[in-house]
Amino acid sequence: MSIKYRLKKTGLLFLLLCLLAGAFAGCSDNSSKDDAEENAATSVTPSGSGGQTVSGTEDSVYASMTVDTDLTVGQWDDGSGFADMEETAIVLSDSGAEISGSGAAVEGSRVTISAEGVYRVSGSCSEGQLYVNVGDDEHVRLILDGVTLSSSNGAPIYVENAKKVLLTLADGSENRITDTTPDGSDTESGSSGTAESASETTEDNASEAPAPAGIYSRDDLTIGGTGTLTVEGNTNGIVTKDKLKILSGTLHITAGNNGVRGNECLAVYDGSITVTAGNDGIKSYTSNEATCGFVTVRGGSVTVVASGDGIHGEYMVDVRGGELDITTGGGSAAAPAHTSDFEHGGWGFGSSSTETADSVSQKGIKSDYQIFLSDGSAVIDSADDSVHSNGTVVLSGGKWTLSTGDDGIHADSSLTVSGGVYDIQKSYEGLESVVITVSGGEGTIAASDDGINCNSDDSFYGGMGFDAVSASTMLTITGGSLTVLADGDGLDSNGNVSMSGGYVVVNGPTNNGNGALDYAGSFQMTGGTLIAAGSSGMAQSVTPSGCYALMITWPSMLSAGTEVRLTDDSGTEIFSFAPEKTYNSIVICTPDLTAADYVLYSGSEKQCEFTISGELTSISSDGSAYSGGMGMGNGGMRPGGGRGGDGTAPGGGRDDNGTAPDMGRDDGTAPGEGRDNDGTAPDTGRNSDETAPDTGRDGNGNETPPEGEPAL
């Protein structure tokens, strides 16, 4: 693709933070005891006190709330609070642990820590448990310094009660924690149940039951250090019922169910984390509290291979840094094929979903309410949506490389792109929401259906010229740059489209059941640059105001890479573009177009000379006026599917003389399959002298056949 013209790029930075009412501190009984700075950092306040609401969302409950997502690392996280405490040494063995110091005791294969302090643990035990049960206001630091610990009766490391536990991986140490608790006990009460539902339960008598994880904490847990920790969980890997922070270290986690899970929140600041999970990889979720479920990534390297979701924060996912590599459900190549109501799509009746109510969610990053992507980088290969929110998504920074069997980025309510670099390399639909606002960023989208799709439940038809316009559906483009390669519609809105800035290029579709632009209401164009090349069957233009737009239609498809070029009447090039797909329709709106005379070239071939005198000009490639067609909109009905400026539809309707040269009659004849002006049909009938030289009589009327054929 080559594009040459002058362009001013503009962008707006837009970041909206909102969440359901209620403080994170209310997620558990122990959270009220947390550090003062952390209580302040995670409080939720009404938007009227300095926050902003999310535009276009339907849920007024969380639309009116915002959250400060800064989580402070305090002295009990970085270890400074333990500086003056003496260490107690614990050496594990199958014959019984040895303890040097106070605060810990051995009972069979269990080591119980019952007092605030620092405990350095080493050694190996094939069937044992480190059990922490201290006061509500007490802190414990566990230093793992070469530990191998397994258990078949619940979590090998189990925190029953504490204000906070800091799990430190000693420098250079290799530590392995293995939970071999049988399947079916993935509840704190020990009862059987499905892996997903059972793991979300909360029981007060957890100390009497096998905890379903390699490391399990009912209170806040922070993991740090410079060593290595391998956790193998027959059910879950690492689980906390409150906050879980990962500050550093090298973590390898394998789990039959969830890899890493924090109830109230899960924060990754640094370190190298690899998760392989039979269900979700990294998760913050609870079925019993309405204000929990927050995942944030601030740094580090995170690799997730999950059969379910990669990262799932029930109420929020906030990515501000780090490097993510996420594969879910076997990746996009393993996704089931989409089926649509019409083979070529674009007719507006929707398409069948790849996910049913009973199917496993296999999204890359998922939240039930909010997703904020402001920094860092991610490579996501997902069977389902790469980024999915049942509420809103805000992309304001970072680098995102996405391959998906469904949507690249999906938000049920609103999707805002104000910055960042996003490359959706494979998708069914690239960006999808009811309200989509693009004010910045650099994007590329490859889609087997629509590149951008704005739709809502109150719209039924998605095209064909009799759309029910959705009042709640809106695509707004004010800045940024975007390139779309679509097999379906390029930009599709079941409501309206507004573009006042930015740079958008659409390549495709190549079939006449879709359009590079497809809108049910209007496409108001007041600024920016738009180039939309595709098939002409359902093509629509724009309604320019304060700028100039040009639509060109060819009678047949041009090869991909065939350059469209405009020069002024002196030969100076004004515009050139080589679409990446075959096309016979293009809409051009750039600041370089003015009221002037132009020359059109296709490749090196001169097509025509024409004049732009008004804000909207529609021509055929021979320079004749062209407007109208199927589909409503101020840019005319869908040209190419209906009538031109003279009442004709070049390529599909009638010419000025009432004929349809491609499929009908000229002057009463049908050249190529009917009769010429003299009443004959030269290909199948008689010449002007009433002879049929190819199959019948000579010019003199004799029944002499052509040479070598018998007489009639």
Residue-wise pLDDT tens digits, 362-398: 999 999 999 999 999 999 999 999 999 999 999 999 9
pLDDT beyond 90 at 82: yes
Task: Give how far Cα 151 sits from Cα of 154, 212, 214, Å.
Answer: 6, 11, 8
pLDDT of res. 52:
26
Residue 671 φ/ψ, nearest 5 degrees: -55, 140
Pairwise pLDDT comparison (360 vs 138), residue with the higher score: 138
pLDDT beyond 60 at 553: yes
pLDDT of res. 340:
53
Pairwise pLDDT comparison (190 vs 284), residue with the higher score: 284
Residue 87: beta bridge partners? 118
DSSP class of 47: G
Sort 517 into a burial class: Cβ within 10 Å, 0-12 / 13-18 / 19+. Answer: buried
pLDDT beyond 70 at 204: no
Give percent of the chain with pLDDT exceeding 90: 65
pLDDT of res. 286:
73
Pairwise pLDDT comparison (673 vs 144), residue with the higher score: 144
pLDDT beyond 50 at 212: yes
Task: Please name the residue that has the structure tokens 């259906």.
Answer: 449
pLDDT beyond 80 at 219: yes
pLDDT of res. 228:
98
Pairwise pLDDT comparison (69 vs 402), residue with the higher score: 402
CA 122, CA 118: separation in Å to the nearest integer? Answer: 13
Q: Which long-range contacts (CB under 8 A, 24 or more apart) does 559-564 make?
A: 562/602, 562/603, 563/2, 563/601, 563/602, 563/603, 564/533, 564/588, 564/600, 564/601, 564/602
Q: Which long-range contacts (CB under 8 A, 24 or more apart) does 203-207 make?
A: 206/160, 207/133, 207/160
Q: Nearest Cα to 195, choosing from 144, 152, 255, 134? A: 255
Question: 179-188, 406-415, 497-506, 584-593: which range is least confident on average?
Answer: 179-188
CA 597, CA 613: separation in Å to the nearest integer? Answer: 9
Q: Please say whether the beta carbons of 347 and 371 come within 8 A.
A: no
pLDDT of res. 292:
77
Residue 217: beta bridge partners? 159, 240
CA 259, CA 230: separation in Å to the nearest integer? Answer: 12
Q: Please say whether the beta carbons of 13 and 249 come within 8 A.
A: no
Measure the CA dihedral 417/419/425/430, to 10°: 10
User: What 3-state class would DSSP assign to 205?
Assistant: coil
**Tokens encoding 249:** 């270290």
**Tokens encoding 635:** 């840019």
Pairwise pLDDT comparison (354 vs 615), residue with the higher score: 615
Q: Nearest Cα to 547, choosing from 499, 494, 600? A: 499
Q: Please say whether the beta carbons of 266 and 319 come within 8 A.
A: no
pLDDT beyond 80 at 99: yes
pLDDT beyond 70 at 654: no
pLDDT of res. 359:
77
User: What 3-state class would DSSP assign to 48?
Assistant: helix
CA 197, CA 287: separation in Å to the nearest integer? Answer: 9
Chain-wide mean pLDDT for the chain?
78
Pairwise pLDDT comparison (422 vs 57), residue with the higher score: 422
Q: Please say whether the beta carbons of 110 and 96 come within 8 A.
A: no
pLDDT beyond 80 at 672: no
Q: Note the helical H segments in 42-81.
A: 60-63, 75-78
Q: What is the mean pLDDT of residues 570-585?
A: 97
pLDDT beyond 90 at 519: yes
Measure the CA dihedral 667/669/672/676, to 10°: -80
pLDDT beyond 60 at 324: yes
pLDDT of res. 35:
41
pLDDT of res. 289:
61
pLDDT of res. 210:
64
CA 476, CA 494: separation in Å to the nearest integer? Answer: 13
Q: Nearest Cα to 700, choosing from 687, 709, 682, 684? A: 687
Q: What is the mean pLDDT of residues 164-186?
A: 89
